[in-house]
Amino acid sequence: MINALFLVKPCPPYDSCTGRRPTCRALSESHLLLFCWAVSNCLGSSTEGMILILFLDVLRTATPLEVALFPLTGCYSHDVMMKDVGLGMPPGTNITWIQMFLYDFGFGEIDLPSNWTRIRLWGYDEDSEDVMNTAGRLMWELNLPADFDQPWDLRGSHSVSRMIRRHQCFCETFSEDHRLRQYLMSQKTDLIVLDHLLQECMGGLASLLNAPIVQYSNWPIADGYVTSMNIPANPSSTPKTATPYSSLGMSFFQRVANVLFHWNIIIARFLQRIWLLETFQRSNLPEVDLIASEAQRIIYAGRSEFLFEVIRPINNRVKHFASNIQLRPSDFVTVIPESCGSETRDGCLCNRISCVLSAEHKLNTSSQLHSTSDYLYSHDFIRHVPEPVKRESLYKNLDRKLVKKRFDTVSMAFPQLHWPSLTNEKFILATFGSLAKAEYIPLDIARKIISAFSRSPYKVIWQTNSPLDSLGWIRNVTIPQNVVLTRWAPVKEMLAHPNLQYLICHGGINTINEVLLFGVPFIGVYLQGDQGSNVRRLADLGAAVMVSVHQISQEELLPIMRKFERNLESYWKRAAQLSSMLEHYRELHVGDQAFWISWTTRHGKSLRDRNLFRMNYIGDTENVFWFTVAAVLSTLFLVVCN
């Protein structure tokens, strides 16, 4: 009936010979469903809107949208991002979650709605544990995958290569899985959302569904992937993702290192391209060219904010979906600073939440030590004086009863933090993410971090992401009076606290987004992946400073902290400016993720098949040139040596 009404013909079935489904030129029922859903959202509660909603319900039962989600291999923050994509789809959508679960970072498999279908290959084993432990320890010795302070140390590159080989091995096994084969042959998929990071094989499998693909990861936009979309990223001018170099300018030696890193990326992707062709041939699957299939993907999206991305060329296929994160800093306020009547200081009302005067805390030798498996702290009296309120707008027009209830909830949930005492003590929050657990820190690095923290004039609350009894170094380190070690902390509530001085963090993309939204300056200790690029960009914008593990090993953390604290007011001012910019930007772009995913579903196939975009990869010319140069230089070197 619906087909006759809208003159719609069903799409042809999957072709098992070619491995692809012929394109359906007519308007599909699912596209009509998506269109009605979008229009009904615009019309709201009007009569026309109600009619469309009723019509939408009829279509939903007859023609549900088919969506395939390809998440990463177990990284929880990536899985949360992908689940958020699925939850944002129109009501009635059939969602299939296709995943190789290879790594468990302490959170297990993510819970999915009961009406979703999960096709999963379980690959978490002893080798997975060894890979994670090795990488976790290396993060505290050098930057992964390449350390530009110690370029001769290739252990990081070896660790990442080992991870890629595991991906390839399990993906080849997954390609033989009968559930996945059945899905490839029987489903009429309307949209694929692929977390592409180090998932070249899964990307090849996704392309066999012959549906529009949104390439989306919990990362910033990365140069190794934008080149597939014919976007220039000249390494002599554009710092590569995962390097700590500035997009405002690089020295000659930094440019040379950047070019060498670029060549490594080219070689690695060339080898993966060959491997994918051979693997699919062994599995009797249709041939998939890695680079060409990436060029066919309609949208490349990142979790970063457009305002704070590294300066690089982009085109209209590159999108930034961080504005989809619905987070209001005022929802996490637990303490409202009170003004001191009419008393002013430097033109600002002062508050009764006080700052720390003591310049240095001595190591704990006499005060009582409190310890459990989840936290360790020692406490002593610290003197305070009033000071102006930061972020006054954050604390205006709040429901005091709700704030008090939130305060009591946090106080009960985290007794080790002595939440009420933080209203009289200024503090620093240190957290390095779920991957860089404190249990992996070598004794020498732990001593230097604790030593630097002990000399701060503020209390330091360190979220370790590890139970205390797993910290091997803690038996050989005396915990200072001003340091609290806790396995978990209410990070967002602490970011909204008026006594927070600054953050010390790893620079992961989610943390960066939250810090910017709350308007908090930070010291970024970048450890792996995109973190160096993220922290560098915020340092260029004046809201952060960078610290590498190599600098910590050289005992440079304390001087950096002291310099940062001397200029703290200017960092807060700049962070507030960036936060205000971000707040206004998000008001305009809050619906970008839903809009572009919907747009790709409706128009992806027609744009690809009619060549309205240049969807073929033209970067081979550049690669051939560089490989030719390398071959000529190698030949000359061999001739001269002989």
Contacts of 413 (CB under 8 A, 6+ apart): 490
CA distances from 305 to 82, 218, 312, 325, 572 (A): 17, 12, 14, 11, 20
Extents of the domains making up the chain: 64-124+153-326+593-635, 334-589
Domain 334-589: give its CATH architecture: 3-Layer(aba) Sandwich (3.40)
Residue 360 pLDDT > 80: no
Residue 445 pLDDT > 90: yes
Mean pLDDT of 327-350: 65
Mean pLDDT of 237-254: 92
**Percent of all residues in the chain with a pLDDT value above 70, rounded to a whole number:** 80
Residue 379 pLDDT > 60: no
Classify residue 526 as left (phi > 0), alpha (psi -120 to 50) or beta.
beta
**Which string of b and e fits 335-362 if b means at least 16 CB within 10 Å?**
bbbeeeeeeeeeeebbbebbbbebeebe
* Pairing of the two strands 318-320 and 299-302: parallel
**Cβ neighbours of 326 (radius 10 Å):** 9
**Which string of b and e fits 243-279 if b means at least 16 CB within 10 Å?**
bbbbbeebeeebbebbeebbeebbebbeebbebbeeb
Position 204 scores a pLDDT of: 94
Q: Residue 635 — very low, low, confident or very high, per pLDDT cuts 50/70/90?
A: confident
Residue 20 pLDDT > 80: no
Evaluate whether 95 touches 424 at the Cβ level (below 8 Å). Answer: no
Give which of 63, 290, 100, 37 is closest to 188, Cα–Cα: 63
User: pLDDT, tens digit, for every residue of 386-419?
Assistant: 567 788 889 999 999 999 999 999 999 999 999 9
User: pLDDT, tens digit, for every residue of 158-204?
Assistant: 999 999 999 999 999 999 999 999 998 877 899 999 999 889 999 99
Say yes or no: do domains 64-124+153-326+593-635 and 334-589 share a fold.
yes
Query: Which amino acid, 35?
Result: F
In the numeric block, which tokens belong to residue 391? 């972020």
Question: Is 7 strand, coil or helix?
Answer: coil
Evaluate whether 33 touches 65 at the Cβ level (below 8 Å). Answer: yes
Position 614 scores a pLDDT of: 64
Q: What sign does the dihedral 483-487-491-493 (CA atoms) show?
A: negative
- 401, containing H or E segment: helix 400-413
Q: Is CATH 3.40.50 the classification given to domain 64-124+153-326+593-635?
A: yes
Q: Residue 369 — very low, low, confident or very high, per pLDDT cuts 50/70/90?
A: very low
Which pairs with CB-CB distance under 8 Å and at least 24 residues apart come from 283-292?
A: 283/172, 283/175, 283/176, 285/19, 285/175, 285/205, 285/208, 286/18, 286/19, 286/20, 286/208, 288/204, 288/207, 288/208, 290/200, 290/203, 290/204, 291/228, 291/617, 291/619, 291/620, 292/616, 292/617
User: pLDDT, tens digit, for every residue of 64-123?
Assistant: 899 999 999 999 999 999 999 999 999 889 999 999 999 998 888 999 999 999 999 999
- What is the Cα–Cα distance from 26 to 494, expressed in whole angstroms? 53
Position 10 scores a pLDDT of: 37
Average pLDDT, the chain: 83
Paired residues of 69 in beta bridges: 97, 193
Question: Is 580 strand, coil or helix?
Answer: helix
Residue 343 pLDDT > 60: no
13-17, 302-306, 549-553, 621-625: least confidently modelled range = 13-17
Tell me the pTM: 0.82
